[in-house]
Structure 1
Amino acid sequence: MTSRHNHARSAPRRARVGVRAGVVGGLLVACMAPALSAQSALDTSRRTAIVAAVERLAPAVVSISVAARQRVAVRSSWADMFVPRYASQLVRGSGTGFLIRGNGVILTNQHVVAGAEQITVTLVDGTQLPATLVGGDPVSDIAVIQVKGRGLPTVPLGKSSELMVGEWVVALGNPYADYLGNTEPTVTAGVVSATGRNILPSEGQAGLYLDMIQTDAAINPGNSGGPLANALGQVVGVNSSILSNSGGSIGLGFAIPIERALRVADLLLAVGAVRRAWTGLDVTPPRNFETWRASNGLVVVSVAPGGPAARAGIQPQDVLVSANGRTLHNHLDWESVKLDLGVGDTVILVTRRGTTRATRALLASDLPTRNAARVTVLEDLQLVTVTPAIRAERGVQSDQGALVVSIAPRTADATGLREGDVIIGLDRRRVATATDLSVFLDDLRPGESFRIWVERNGQTAYTDLVYR
C-alpha cells in the first residue's frame, strides 16, 4: 500500500518534472535558433565581396624569382692598369605575376625580369617551374613570361575604363617573398583614388607611367607585376609603382590599365616586340615642372616632311587641342595618346591655326628607323643612316651621321657608345652615312688608336678608342 501510495504520488511528480524538462528544452531550442541565426549572419558578413574576389584571383597569382647580371664599377687603385673598370655580378630579385592563359602565359612588369638570366615561377601550391621570357617592352613596363603547363588557373579580366573613383579594389602580390616562407599571395585592400594619372618621368626612367590607376591599397617591393582587381575579382590593372620617400607604401600606389597591358602582351606573344607608332610631329617640350600643368593645347614645333602629320595637313605652329576626344592639357597627355597608338591606327586630332579650328585624321606609321637599312660594324653594333625622317623621329640635331640603333652590352662597355648616339666623325673624317663608318673602321689596323665623335642628347662629345 505504502509503496503503491508512494508510486501514486511519485508518478505525477515525474510527470510534472517531465513537463518542466520539456519546457526547458523548448526554451533551449528557442534560444539556440537565434544564436545559430546570428552565427550564420556573422559568417555571411565575414564572407564579403573582397573575400570572394581574392578566392577567384589567388590561384592564378604567382611569385617570380630572377637572377640577373648587374654591371658594377670596380673600386681599385689598380683599376686603370690591371683591372677592368667595370665588372658584372649576379644579383637576385623577386616580383609577382599572374596567369592570363591556361598554357602558362604570365603577365608581369618588364622591370621585374629585365636582364634576367634565370627566371623561376612559384605557383600558389608551392610548385616551382622554370620560365622563359617571351618578350618585354621597357616603354610600357610590361613583360610576358611562360612556364610549361596545361589547364592552369587564370585570372578573370575586367576593364579599367569602367572603374569608378572610390570603389573598392584589392592588390595581390608577393612582397618580400625572399623573407617569407609561404607561397600564397598577400592581399591588401583600398579604393580607387584616381584614374588617368600621369607620373612625371624621372631621370634615367625607361618606362612611361601614363593614364595610371591610383590606389591607396598598400603596394610594397615585390608587389610589382601583381594584379589590381575590382570587388568582382576582375583584374583591372598591373601593380607597377609607388610614390614614397621610404621605399614602402604610403598610400600612393599605381597600376597600369589592364587594356594597355593586354594589348602589349598580345604583340609580344605574336611577334616578340612592340612596334612603336610614329606621328611625324614634335610638340613644344616642357621646360620645367610648371609647364607640365594645364595649358590651352600643345604647339607643334616641327613636322617631318612626308610623314604622317604632314600627310594629315598639320603644319608647324599649329596647336593640338585634343586627340581622340581627349583634351591635351600638357605634354604627358600627348605622350599617353602615342603610348597606346599602334602602327596603322588613326588618331583624330582637333587643331587650331590662328583662330581657325580643324579636325584632322592622322594615320600612324612605322618608325623610320624600323624600315631603314642597317649596317653592322664591330660584330654587334647596328647603325642606320640619319635621314630627315629619322632626325624628326629621334630629335637629332646633326643633318648627317650614323645612328646607333642596337649595341651589345660588351661593346657598349668597351666603347662607351649607347643606343641613340649619332656617330658624326672618326678622327678628322666626317661620317655622313652608316656605310662611311664601316669603311673607315675597315681601314684601321689592330692596335691603332682613333677618336670617335658623337651627338648625344643634342650635345657633341668624343671618346678615344683603340682598334682591336
Structure 2
Amino acid sequence: MNRRNLLDRLRPLLMVGIALTIVTALVIALPSREEAPVEMRETVPAEREAEPTTRDPGAMITPEQLSRTFREVAQEVLPVVVEVNVVEVVRQTAPRSLSPWEYFFGPQAPGGPEPQQREFERPGLGSGVIIARQGENAYVVTNNHVVGQASRISVTLYDRREYEAEVVGRDPRTDLAVISFRPDGEVPIALLGDSGSAEVGDWVLAVGNPYGFEATVTSGIVSAVRREAGGRGQIGTFSDYIQTDAAINPGNSGGALVNLTGEVIGINTWIASQTGGSVGLGFAIPVNTVRRVVTDVLERGRVSYGWLGVTIVDPEAGRFPELATDLGIEGRRGALVLNISRGSPADQSGVLPGDLIVRMDDTPIDSSNQLTRRIGLLSPGETTTLVLVRDAAEQTLTVRIDERAPEEDLADGSLVWPGLAVVPLGDQLLESLNLDQSVRGVVVADVVGGSASDASGLRPGDVVLRVNDRPADTVRAFYRELNATRGDEVRLRILRQGREIGVGLVK
C-alpha cells in the first residue's frame, strides 16, 4: 500500500484533513538582486477526477501502516531542517580584585579605578528550514530570536555539512529571520503547504534540534489554530499561531512543523511552560505568514506592513471590564480606538478616539490583535472598509492604508492625539482615590509621553469632570465632547488631590 492510499484511509479515522496535492516549483523573478530566480517548493490542489472510488472508509489502519507513514514523512523532511549555531558578543562588567587595603579597610574613596568592561562570546543554538535557493545561495528561515545580534552564524545540514551563514533580513514583528549560505553542492528545499487548511486533530511532526540533539522528530496533533501570543515577552504579535502537543523544547525554535504529506505548515517558535521544557503546549508560526515574510525579504530586503495609525485595546479586557458598559458597547467585540496618529490613514479617513472597530471588509473583528494583523497584511496603497460603532451608532468608513514605519518612529508621542486613556470612575476607583460618592467623571489611566495630554500636565489618576464645560460623567460622554470640539483646543476641568484645575489640550 503506498503512502497516499494510506492517507486516504487515515482521514476518516484519525481526523487528518489532507488534500491531494501535486508539487510545483514557484519561481520568483527578482530584478533587484542576482539574475538567477528564487526557487521555492509549494503545493497546489490536484484536480480530482469524477470517478467512483473503491476505498473502504471504515477500514482499520494498522500501527505498522501509521508507523510507515511517520517514517516516510520524517525521511523527507529531515534533510531540509538545519541546525543553526550562533555566537553573540556581549559586554559585561568584570569583577575587580580587591587590593589588600580594600580587603581590610573597605572600598576606596570615590575617584578610584572604574570596573572593567570585558567582552564575552555567548553561544546559542536553534533550528532552521531550507526554504529557497537562488543561484549559489540557499536560504533558511528561522526565528529572529535565534539569530539575535549574533556576530557569527553557521548552519549544519542533515548530512553534517557545515557552512558559514549571514542574515539576509529579519522581522521582529513576527519573530522571523532569513539567513543564507553557499553550499558546495545540491541542497533539498522544504515543501511548503497551506497552514490555512490545518485543522484541530490533524497529525503533525515537529522537527528540530532540541537541546542540541540534532535531527529530532516528535509527533502530536494540532491542538488549536489561530492562537494569540497575548503579549508574552518577545514573542511576535504580527502573527497568530498553530498550537500543538508535539514535544517542542529549547533548540527547536526555527524548526519545521509538518503534516503527514511532508508539507511544512509552520515554523516552531515558542512554548508555554513553567519549567522551560515541553509540557505539550508548543506554538508555530503558520507557513502562510512565513511565506509572505520570506518573499518580502527576498524581493526587497525588508518586510512591508500596512499601517492604520491608531492605538487600540480590547474593550472587555484588562482591569476595567465596566469600560464596555460605560461606552454602551457591552456584549460587542472589536478593537477600541484610544488614540489617533496625526496625518495617518485613520486620521484622514475620519476614525476618532472612542470608536469601536467591529468589522474590516467582510471579516468581523474580535480583538485588537486581529485588527493589527489584518491591517498589517495589506500593502501600502490598498483600501479597506471599516465598520465602527461611535456613540452607539454604526458607521462605515473607507481607508487607504500607508506603510508601517519602524517601531522607533512610531514611538514619537508628539503625533498622538489626544494621548491618553480614560476609564469609568467606578466604586473601586472612588474608594482608592479617596473621593466622595457624589463625584462624577472619568479617570485618566494612562498618558502617552510627548503627547498633547503629556504637555498639558495630565497625570494618571486625574479625574476629568468636564470637557468644554460639558459633563464627562461617562467614557462615552468624554469621547463625544472631545470629538465635537471646534478649533484646536480642548478645555478640561479635572480633579486632582481634592482641587479642581483647568487644563487645555492643543491639537
TM-score, normalisation: structure 2: 0.60
Asked whether the equivalents of residues 87 and 124 of structure 2 are also in contact (C-alpha less than 8 Å), the reply is yes
1:397 aligned residue: 450
Q: State the secondary structure of the residue aligned to 1:120.
A: strand
**Structure 1 residue 306: Cα displacement:** 3.2
The 2-side partners of 1:192 and 1:368 are apart by 35
1:46/1:211 Cα in 2 relative to 1: closer, same or farther (>3 Å)? Answer: closer
Asked whether the equivalents of residues 135 and 268 of structure 1 are also in contact (C-alpha less than 8 Å), the reply is yes
Which of these residues, 152, 169, 177, is aligned with residue 118 of structure 1? 152
2:191 aligned residue: 156
The 2-side partners of 1:246 and 1:139 are apart by 26
More helix by share: 1
Matched, 1:165 2:194: no
Asked whether the equivalents of residues 415 and 451 of structure 2 are also in contact (C-alpha less than 8 Å), the reply is no
1:302/1:43 Cα in 2 relative to 1: closer, same or farther (>3 Å)? Answer: closer
The 2-side partners of 1:391 and 1:151 are apart by 58
Matched, 1:366 2:403: yes
Which of these residues, 307, 320, 329, is aligned with residue 278 of structure 1? 307
1:321 aligned residue: 358
**Structure 1 residue 197: Cα displacement:** 0.5
TM-score, normalisation: structure 1: 0.65
The alignment-based identity, stated in percent, is: 33
1:348 aligned residue: 385
Matched, 1:388 2:415: yes
1:136/1:252 Cα in 2 relative to 1: closer, same or farther (>3 Å)? Answer: same
Which region of structure 1 is more displaced relative to structure 2, 329-338 or 287-296? 287-296
**Structure 1 residue 115: Cα displacement:** 0.7
1:259 aligned residue: 288
1:228/1:324 Cα in 2 relative to 1: closer, same or farther (>3 Å)? Answer: farther
1:200/1:289 Cα in 2 relative to 1: closer, same or farther (>3 Å)? Answer: farther
Structure 2 unmatched runs, 5+ = 1-60, 97-106, 325-330, 420-446, 455-507
The CA deviation string for residues 396-435 of structure 1, in whole angstroms up to 9 with x for no partner, is 434699xxxxxxxxxxxxxxxxxxxxxxxxxxxxxxxxxx
Superposed counterparts of 1:128-167, under 5 Å: 128-149=162-183, 151-167=186-202
Amino acid in structure 2 at the alignment position of 1:297: G
1:52 aligned residue: 72
Which of these residues, 172, 185, 202, is aligned with residue 232 of structure 2? 202
1:99 aligned residue: 130
**Structure 1 residue 260: Cα displacement:** 1.1
Asked whether the equivalents of residues 60 and 124 of structure 1 are also in contact (C-alpha less than 8 Å), the reply is yes
**Structure 1 residue 191: Cα displacement:** 0.5
The CA deviation string for residues 198-239 of structure 1, in whole angstroms up to 9 with x for no partner, is 122135x26327411000000011000001011111111100
Amino acid in structure 1 at the alignment position of 2:415: P
1:347/1:250 Cα in 2 relative to 1: closer, same or farther (>3 Å)? Answer: farther
The 2-side partners of 1:289 and 1:221 are apart by 33
The 2-side partners of 1:217 and 1:117 are apart by 32
Structure 1 unmatched runs, 5+ = 1-40, 373-382, 402-468
Q: For this pair of structures, how many residues does the alignment match?
A: 344
1:265/1:290 Cα in 2 relative to 1: closer, same or farther (>3 Å)? Answer: farther
Q: State the secondary structure of the residue aligned to 1:152.
A: coil
The CA deviation string for residues 157-188 of structure 1, in whole angstroms up to 9 with x for no partner, is 111111111110110001121xx4xx5x1101
Matched, 1:269 2:317: no
Q: State the secondary structure of the residue aligned to 2:191.
A: coil
Matched, 1:298 2:335: yes
1:81/1:324 Cα in 2 relative to 1: closer, same or farther (>3 Å)? Answer: farther
The CA deviation string for residues 123-171 of structure 1, in whole angstroms up to 9 with x for no partner, is 1111111111111111210000011036420111111111111110110
The CA deviation string for residues 59-115 of structure 1, in whole angstroms up to 9 with x for no partner, is 111111111112434445789843457543210011100111134110100011011
Q: State the secondary structure of the residue aligned to 1:176.
A: helix
1:284/1:224 Cα in 2 relative to 1: closer, same or farther (>3 Å)? Answer: closer
2:271 aligned residue: 242
1:333 aligned residue: 370
The 1-side partners of 2:111 and 2:289 are apart by 47
Which of these residues, 187, 209, 213, is aligned with residue 242 of structure 2? 213
Superposed counterparts of 1:227-238, under 5 Å: 227-238=256-267
2:41 aligned residue: none
The 2-side partners of 1:289 and 1:80 are apart by 49
Asked whether the equivalents of residues 295 and 330 of structure 1 are also in contact (C-alpha less than 8 Å), the reply is no
Which of these residues, 195, 210, 220, is aligned with residue 190 of structure 1? 220
Amino acid in structure 2 at the alignment position of 1:215: T
1:408 aligned residue: none
Asked whether the equivalents of residues 243 and 281 of structure 2 are also in contact (C-alpha less than 8 Å), the reply is yes
Asked whether the equivalents of residues 133 and 144 of structure 1 are also in contact (C-alpha less than 8 Å), the reply is yes
1:206/1:227 Cα in 2 relative to 1: closer, same or farther (>3 Å)? Answer: closer
1:123/1:328 Cα in 2 relative to 1: closer, same or farther (>3 Å)? Answer: same
The CA deviation string for residues 17-55 of structure 1, in whole angstroms up to 9 with x for no partner, is xxxxxxxxxxxxxxxxxxxxxxxx989626533222222
The 1-side partners of 2:272 and 2:116 are apart by 34
1:198/1:154 Cα in 2 relative to 1: closer, same or farther (>3 Å)? Answer: same
1:409 aligned residue: none
2:435 aligned residue: none
Q: State the secondary structure of the residue aligned to 1:53.
A: helix
Asked whether the equivalents of residues 386 and 400 of structure 1 are also in contact (C-alpha less than 8 Å), the reply is no
Q: State the secondary structure of the residue aligned to 2:65.
A: helix
Matched, 1:89 2:120: yes
The 2-side partners of 1:53 and 1:227 are apart by 12
The CA deviation string for residues 272-292 of structure 1, in whole angstroms up to 9 with x for no partner, is 222343212222477737869
**Structure 1 residue 327: Cα displacement:** 3.0
1:134/1:330 Cα in 2 relative to 1: closer, same or farther (>3 Å)? Answer: same
The 2-side partners of 1:400 and 1:127 are apart by 59
Amino acid in structure 1 at the alignment position of 2:157: L
1:43/1:306 Cα in 2 relative to 1: closer, same or farther (>3 Å)? Answer: closer
Q: State the secondary structure of the residue aligned to 2:132.
A: coil
